[in-house]
Amino acid sequence: MNPTAHNNSGDEDAQPDVADTAGSTVSYKTQSHSLVDAAQQGEIQRWVTTEIHQISPGSYEGRCTTLSMDGMHVVHERQNQAVHKDGITPKNICTVSLAFSTDPELRFSHFDNSLDSWLFLLPEEQEFDIKLPANTETLYVCLEQDKLMANARILNECFWEKPPEDLQVFNTPFRNEFAGRLMWMLKHFGAADRPPVQALIMDAILLAMNNATGILTSELPEYRARLRAHQLVKDARAFINDRLRLGHSPSVVDVCAHTGISERTLQYAFQRELQLSPLAYIRIVRLNGARAQLLAAAPSETTVTHVATAWGFFHLGKFSQDYRRMFGERPSETLASFRR
């Protein structure tokens, strides 16, 4: 399946309020954004707390198209660079998502995206950690969990007696039908006669999940070892990020001391999860942090030297080279084109 986002290069105006099938008024808004920085994806999607880092070198180009309604959002994303996304879902908010790829480097927490029939259900108040290779498209719905569970119990009361407590993967033959319906709405929703969008999306989700031929959870034996490696890297990343926020760049020795594991085990876990060494990950996070600071500051308020040293780069020539290799432009060019 090769979905295509609509071609609008800027934000679309909010659509006027319309009445749904129950007679109540629902506010709809479609937007399409051209992106020049990975962090912009997280800024657009304020309904879920997300931090996004670019992890492959080169100029970033991305696209994010959204359809927002009362309590529900449909999002289509694509980017030309590999990115790492992590965050947490709010209370009573869940997501149903898929990727238009079976690249072996694509990962949703401790699950590889190895089949083109997989649909991911992430429940409320759950941390997520996603590795997306370059040139990957993703599609997801963000909605209120209690409404999804209420409808799901009508179809299968026993299975949905309790809401899920962790990420679940549904192997479903209706995944492409689900994706096609969402892509159609994103592309054609501007039509004057709008369908009952929220009901159609809910039906598509329930059809796909209720007809799944298999469901994967963290409790399955084959995923327990992977979950342990995932938790190890998660703990290491949290320590690295905490140290960087305090202005200290940790060494591999520091990370091993914190996690209580050998360097070999740490290297293997990072390579398995992110296809990066721990040192490479630390450097990429520092470069992304420097870029975010350069993008947010006016040239009259700071200098490249100040930002570089704040993130532990003391050889300014090497910093400029690494920065340009990572983002396709010099740090001085980023600062000169600052955005608030």
Q: Which domains does the chain have, with CATH numbers?
A: 18-216 (2.60.120.10), 221-336 (1.10.10.60)
pLDDT at 70: 83
Stretch 317-337: mean pLDDT: 93
pLDDT at 338: 58
Asked if pLDDT for residue 193 goes beyond 60, the answer is no
The model carries a pTM of 0.83
Asked if pLDDT for residue 107 goes beyond 60, the answer is yes
Confidence of residue 79 (pLDDT cuts 50, 70, 90): very high
Average pLDDT of the chain? 87
Picking from 75, 178, 172, the residue whose alpha carbon sits closest to that of residue 118 is 172
**Which residue type occupies 72?**
M
* SS3 of residue 45 by DSSP: coil
> Residue 270: is it exposed, middle or buried by C-beta count within 10 angstroms (0-12/13-18/19+)?
buried
pLDDT at 194: 60
Q: Which one is predicted more confidently, 200 or 337?
A: 200
pLDDT at 110: 85
Q: Which one is predicted more confidently, 23 or 52?
A: 52
Q: Which one is predicted more confidently, 193 or 14?
A: 193
C-alpha to C-alpha distances, 285 to 111, 132, 280, nearest whole angstrom: 23, 16, 9
Cα angle, residue 102 at apex, residues 64 and 271 outer, rounded to 5°? 95
Asked if pLDDT for residue 21 goes beyond 90, the answer is no
Stretch 65-93: mean pLDDT: 93
Check: CB of residue 280 under 8 Å from CB of residue 237. no
